[in-house]
Amino acid sequence: MNAVTEVKGWCPGILRPMASGDGLIVRVRPRCGAFDLETATALADLAERLGNGHIDLTRRANLQIRGLTDDRLTELQAELAKLGLLDRDAETEAVRNVMVAPLAGLDPAQSLDVRPIARAIDDALTSDKRLHALPGKFGLLVDGGGAVSIASERADICLAAVGDTLAFGLDTAKGTEWLGTLPPSGAAEAAIAAAHAFLAVATRGRMRGLSEAAFAHVRAAVDLSPMAVLPSPGGRRLGPLGCAAGVAAPFGRLEAGQLRGLVKLAADAGAADLRLSPWRTVYFEADAFVLEQARDAGLIVEDNDPLLQVEACPGAPDCKSSSVDARGDAGRLATVAADRGWHGSIHVSGCAKGCARSLPSALVLAGKGGAYRLIRNATTRGPVERIIGIEEFETLFDERRDD
């Protein structure tokens, strides 16, 4: 197996890791949005033994093992192959960008179990080599509705259960445009037809960047019926959900021990697997929620937890590019913001690279020389208002109240 290391801007994979300040990042894509508990335990052990023990939950519902050195990569790839998680080449791996409703098959409020559709799409993406020309970040989404719907997340091609049909949508500059419905039996085929139609009019970019004529070409590739009801938007929910439990990791980061703890909670609750979501939240089947145990394991179990409004990268000492304890400071800042009743988005970054978030935030602190550059309503590359130390956090919310 070859290691082809790419620079930032490419989604990292097992066969194409990405270099970061704390070593190589390897993204592991689950099959159909879930890892069974045995596999999740093995991933925690591998992250600890071969990486630095830090595991990211990503916004595309994948998991990343961090902190690998080049000499550990081949062994990790071999171990992941034994777990059935290695694709035959980097192109096959890269095209497998399918997000699946995290409660598929668990939530009685869902009219359809959409996993067979997601599996059929995954199979087509991996077996049809023409589709390997799709751009690296081109993605698909299959939602089932119910308590935790992912229909409002962005993906180039979207399918969402509405009653006993599937709504079909394409991504535009304004978000998903829901174009019509089709029966479940033709849903995977329609999504793949749209992917081929995209390739007929574009070799790069995304669905949202197509011209009107090119978009119409993709639209025409799918035979749709008129749609009476739009998919419900849904979103992240934490805590007990009746059929399942939702827990989030602070800053989207699990330690290997936390992942093992999560597996134990899920096993004790009788779950078969851990479901990943685009909100960096994990779901598992649970009748009675294990709230206290999850909280004790350092996980977030409530939707109003102040940590949920803050993004932070590892910072020092894990990342050698940083001079500040970004996550520790982010935790302190979250407490101060909550005390002041401030609800804007916050990004605390170890350095100007801004690995944790590429979009603007209301308040940005980017580490430099043991202090932070203060930036507002921008990314880490935005104009610097001034340099501040952690002792000045209290003052940040007195000055302005930007959202």
Structure token digits, residue 44 = 């925690």
Which string of x and - marks every residue 203-232 that binds ligand SF4 (by CB under 6 A)? Answer: ------------------------------
Out of 264, 332, 343, 353, which residue is the one contacting ligand SF4 (CB under 6 A)?
353
Give the whole-angstrom CA distance, residue 252 versus residue 59.
9
* Three-class DSSP labels, 213-257: HHHHHHHHCCCCECCCCCCCCCCCCCEECCCEEEEECHHHEEEHH
Q: Which residue, 309 or 322, is less far from ligand SF4 as judged by CB?
A: 322
Which residues partner with 273 through β-bridges?
Answer: 36
Distance, in Å, from the CA atom of 348 to the CA atom of 360, rounded to the nearest integer, reads: 12
Give the whole-angstrom CA distance, residue 292 versus residue 107.
23
Among 238, 265, 355, 375, binds ligand SF4 (CB under 6 A): 355
- Residue 292 contacts by C-beta under 8 Å, 6 or more apart in sequence? none
Decide if residue 375 touches ligand SF4 (CB under 6 A): no
DSSP state of 31: B
Q: How far is the CB of 312 from ligand SF4 (least distance, A)?
A: 8
In the complex with ligand SF4, the residue whose CB is nearer, 57 or 247, is 57
Alpha-carbon span 280 to 12, nearest angstrom: 17
CB nearer ligand SF4, residue 33 or residue 314: 314
Q: Report if residue 349 touches ligand SF4, rule: CB under 6 A.
A: yes
Least distance (Å) from ligand SF4 to the CB of residue 350? 2
CA angle (79, 31, 38) in 5-degree steps: 50
Asked if 42 touches ligand SF4 (CB under 6 A), the answer is no
Half-sphere exposure of 148 (CA within 13 A, CB side): 31
Of 315, 327, 329, 363, the residue at the interface with ligand SF4 (CB under 6 A) is 315
Query: Which segments of 12-89 does DSSP mark as H helices, in order?
Result: 37-50, 70-82
Least distance between ligand SF4 and beta carbon 381 (Å):
12
Which residue's beta carbon is nearest to the bound ligand SF4?
350
Is the distance from CB of 44 to CB of 55 less than 8 angstroms? yes
Q: How far is the CB of 378 from ligand SF4 (least distance, A)?
A: 15
346 binds ligand SF4 (CB under 6 A): no
The window from 49-57, 138-146, 191-199, 350-358 that contacts ligand SF4 (CB under 6 A) reads 350-358
In the bound state with ligand SF4, the residue whose beta carbon lies nearer, of 125 and 366, is 366
Backbone angles phi, psi at 372, to 5 degrees: -130, 140
361 near ligand SF4 (CB under 6 A): no
For residues 16 and 8, what is the distance between their CA atoms, to the nearest angstrom?
12
Residues touching ligand SF4, count (CB under 6 A): 14
The correct pick among 16, 314, 337, 347 for binding ligand SF4 (CB under 6 A) is 314
CB of 193 to ligand SF4, least distance (A): 39
Alpha carbon of residue 24 to chain centroid: 18
Residue list 20-39, contact with ligand SF4 (CB under 6 A)? 20-21
Q: Is 348 in the site for ligand SF4 (CB under 6 A)?
A: no
321, 327, 333, 372: residue in contact with ligand SF4 (rule CB under 6 A): 321
- The residues binding ligand SF4 (CB under 6 A) are 20-21, 313-315, 319, 321-322, 349-351, 353-355
